[in-house]
Structure 1
Amino acid sequence: MQISQNSFTTILLTLLVVNSIFYSEGVVAQSNNASKTKMAKGTMLVGVSTIDITPEGPILLAGYGGRKSESEGVLQALKAKALAFGSDSEGPSILITVDLIGIQYYMTQEVARRLSDKIGVDPSRLVISASHTHTGPEIGNLLNHFARQLPPEEIGRINKFLEILTEKLEKVSIEALDARKPAKVAWGQGKAGFAMNRRKVVNGKSVGMTPIPEGPVDHDLPLLRITDMDGKLRAVMVSYACHGTTLGPDINKIHGDWIGEAQKFIEEKNPGAIAMVSLGCGADANPEPRVTNLQLDYAAQHGKEVADEVQKLLASNLKPLSSAPMGQSKVIQLPFEHIPTVQEFVQQANEKGAKAYFAKLALDKIARGESIPKSLNYPITTWTFGNDLAMVFLAGEVVVDYSLRLKKELAPGRLWVSAYSNDVPCYIASKRVIKEGGYEVESSMYSYNQPGRFQESIEDLIVTTVHDLLPLSYKPKIKK
């Protein structure tokens, strides 16, 4: 049978029109369904995904400067896990947790750029929160901690891991976006008790690290629950303000510390669900007990405590969240107290440890015509689920004073404060801690490739920025 060119064109156009109608009706139907879903209280589109980020082969582990060799095996796999909230029309938001010592800001920016270019995700709606395990791979932000020039092959393996990690963070984000479907989201808050302040202070000055039972800590354990429409658990997100240092430097094998153990226990108790754990403002808190010949048992003990509290919360009446999160972000400048002169750097270079190593690097930098930054770029992000919950994501190793102050000043009972988010450039000490001095204020800064302590003003700069980023509904009413 022979068909004329005109007839063929007519048939083709007809098929295209019919296909367009069916496609349009399908899109409208999906859009209508999504709209109906969003109107239901406590319901929104949510996607969940997980990916293994365990390094292949030996790599230098981060967190303890005394390690002299690369990792000697894997005790527990490391994961990156993602939650994607909201529809494309609303603008999706993505929250990733990584079982790592930290994340570098350039990596967060690169993942955000890729997601923006490919999918249109707003950079303010991407958050990457690190678990701060001290038995995970070095990611390049604590290289000074070793106070020596590392062999090129070791640096090469770190760089290769970071390249692969960036690809995997992009992949897990896209997979979570693709997995979005109607879900019920709710939140609540429990408690855990193993964090203990580690800063011993005598006459207003820090004199070392030791467990201080009376020291300030944040024992809150906020939880996010994501279930299918039929009530089946899909994911749990939980946070606690405590260092990932149950395991000491003698453990030279990859492990997620108490954070990894908590995720394992939660997932064992809830088959098919994904557990995510991030850290609060626990920069000056260690898990107790820790670092003994029973330390693997202690990591499991702390993880089980978190998992048991999670089970109680999952069975309780949690607060439904009816709106997908809206993000706001800002990068501010945190000023250093003093930038050493060349002569001061020369003197420091004759000392020992990370401070001397940083001084040598600084002198080399100055000789090449480069300058030492007078301030630190510091990203802050906030998410708000309508008027029901505000999440604050702070970069760096943030001490407990920040979460205690923010929870006191803003929306009591509706504020979730996370640290180690989007960037971990150094410790972020409070005004009180800076006055007291000590590791978190002084020597740790050189390990992080920073020139020295911050000005006391940084606390008010950070807190004021959080206030500015949050809507009025989260701020205290001014009495007339």
Structure 2
Amino acid sequence: MYKSILFFIFLFPIALFGQNLKSTEVRFGAAKVNITPEVPIPMSGYSNREKPFTEVHDDLFASALCFSNINTKVLIITADVISFNNILASEIKQKIEDKTGIPGENIFLTAAHNHGGPVIKAYEKDVSEEVEKYVDILQDKLVEIAAQAASQTVPVQIGYGSGSCSLNINRRAKFSDGSVWLGRNQDGPCDHEVSVLKIENENGKLLSLFVNWPCHGTASGQDNLEITGDWPGLAARYLNKKLGEDVIIAVTAGASGDINPIYGPNNNFREIEAVGTQLGAEVFRTLSEIETSPVYSIDITNKTLTLPGKKSGKGRYSKDIIEKGPDVDVNLSVCKIGNYVLSGISGEVMTEIGMNIKAASDYSRTMVITHCNGTSGYICTDAAYPEGGYEVNVTRLWPGSEKEITQNVVEMINTLN
């Protein structure tokens, strides 16, 4: 009798511990929706392209991923559009909060920076009734998939893998006269890492993939008038054909303010599709190497930096900084799910900045997501300013922003529990 009681006393805490672990496991839900415009409206991404699209090459999609545990819920929403400006991002996040109860600060609203999609309010070059209607429909669809993902979470196992895709290249071509033009710079910095989060249910069924690769969504060029998801959408399409349409694929752009696809910008869909297909194939190859396991913690933190601004230079590729402009808000968000880190920045971040953030992070599985929770324009390295070039000319940030942003993001990552 004594031995039986003693055995029960030792076993009871173990059983309780197991139950407690189970109750704190991260749960997951996902949903996606077609966001292709139903009527022709102007396309975004190139200032001299003003005609409405003529046809749809491939549909545009948005995805919502919800991670939750007993304490926290986090939403990651991706969309095959060019960007969400700060006002529009705030409006959408508030509507999602009203619908789901998930605080706006726990929502990552990201754009794939697709240059083959429709105009939305981010660039405000067209405020026609048709565009306004599309933006309203888009908002409603994003709110709906957020609610779907948040309402159908299940226990999951998560794993991380890293591959490489070399179809991206530095685009700041440097010439003998010291000028910098949009082109190809094989010697310039370029991050080829493909980061993949794999999410399975308890039985090992694949539910979703989160993919991050640093590249502009500019495989399609300014003369293209066919709606396309560019390489992010085409990579997702490739993976869905391989894995099944029920797997939710979220593709995001890493730090790629000065990075273009090797094939592009152009209007040859064979080459445009090649970028998405090769990226998708690398993600697919990586999946076999990823082991998944339950995850228990979710931590999130946000910060908005108000940084000195500048006005544009004299010309498109000017080295000159004419004068100071209005201050610029840069939104920073960091979420840690287990030991997997997602760091969001509201701008077009030069690749060296993203590489430096990943190198300084205490977590080897760190991803930098750009065009996240608004847009602050180009975020350049301090070294780029004296060189000039397109990114330097159009950035709204005064030199010194690189240090402020990098230090703050790294501190946010490394001080999370």
TM-score past 0.5 threshold: yes
In the alignment, is residue 136 of structure 1 matched against residue 117 of structure 2? yes
Q: What is the identity, as a one-letter code, of the residue corresponding to 1:225?
A: K
Q: Tell me the residue number matched to 1:78.
A: 60
| Equivalent in the alignment of 2:100 | 119
The amino acid across from 1:284 in the alignment is: D
Indicate conservation of the 8 Å contact 1:83/1:176, yes or no.
yes
Change (3 A) 1:33 1:321: closer
Alignment partner, residue 468 of structure 1: 411
Partner of residue 389, structure 1 = 340
Say which of 139, 143, 146 aligns to 1:166. Answer: 139
How many Å separate the matches in 2 of 1:139 and 1:34? 48
Matched, 1:178 2:167: no
TM-score (norm 2): 0.88
The yes-or-no answer on 1:218 pairing with 2:191 is yes
C-alpha distance in structure 2 between counterparts of 1:459 and 1:321, whole Å: 36
- Cα pair 2:361 2:414 within 8 Å, conserved: no
Per-residue deviation, residues 159-212 of structure 1 (Å, max 9, x unmatched): 221111111111110000112111111112111110000101246944211111
Greater fraction helix: 1
The whole-number CA distance in structure 2 between the counterparts of 1:418 and 1:108 is 15
* Gaps in structure 1 of 5+ consecutive residues: 1-31, 145-149, 341-347, 356-371, 446-452, 475-480
Query: 2:257 corresponds to which residue?
Result: 283
Work out whether 1:274 is the aligned partner of 2:248: yes
SS of alignment partner, residue 227 of structure 2 = coil
Equivalent in the alignment of 1:398: 349
User: How many Å separate the matches in 2 of 1:44 and 1:317?
Assistant: 18
Cα distance change of structure 1 residues 85 and 215 upon mapping to structure 2, 3 Å threshold? same
Q: Residue by residue, what CA displacement relative to the aligned partner does 1:384-419 show, whole Å, maximum 9, x if unpaired? A: 123x12211011111101111112222262211111
Deviation of 1:49 after TM superposition, in Å, equals 0.2
Overall identity of the aligned pairs, in % = 26
| Distance change in 2, residues 1:204/1:187 (3 Å) | farther
From 307, 321, 329, give the equivalent of 1:334: 307
Deviation at 1:213, TM superposition (A): 1.2
For structure 2, the residue ranges without an aligned partner over 5 or more in a row are: 1-16, 319-323
Deviation at 1:338, TM superposition (A): 5.6
Corresponding letter in the other structure for 2:257: A
**Contact residue 331 and residue 346 of structure 2 kept, 8 A:** yes
1:444-455 aligned at under 5 Å gives the runs: 444-445=394-395, 453-455=396-398
RMSD: 2.7
Contact 1:339 1:374 in 2 (8 A): no
1:228 to 2:201 alignment = yes
**Does residue 69 of the first structure (1) align with residue 12 of the second (2)?**
no
Quote the Cα distance in structure 2 between the aligned partners of 1:201 and 1:425: 26
Q: 2:124, 2:179 → 1: CA distance? A: 25
The match for 1:200 is 173
Which residue does 1:360 correspond to in 2? none
Alignment TM-score, normalising by the size of structure 1: 0.77
Give the superposition deviation at 1:52: 1.2
Work out which of the residue numbers 430, 435, 443 in structure 1 matches 2:386: 435
**Shift in CA distance, 473/339, structure 1 to aligned 2, threshold 3 Å:** closer
1:242 aligned counterpart, secondary structure = coil
The aligned residue for residue 57 of structure 1 is: 39
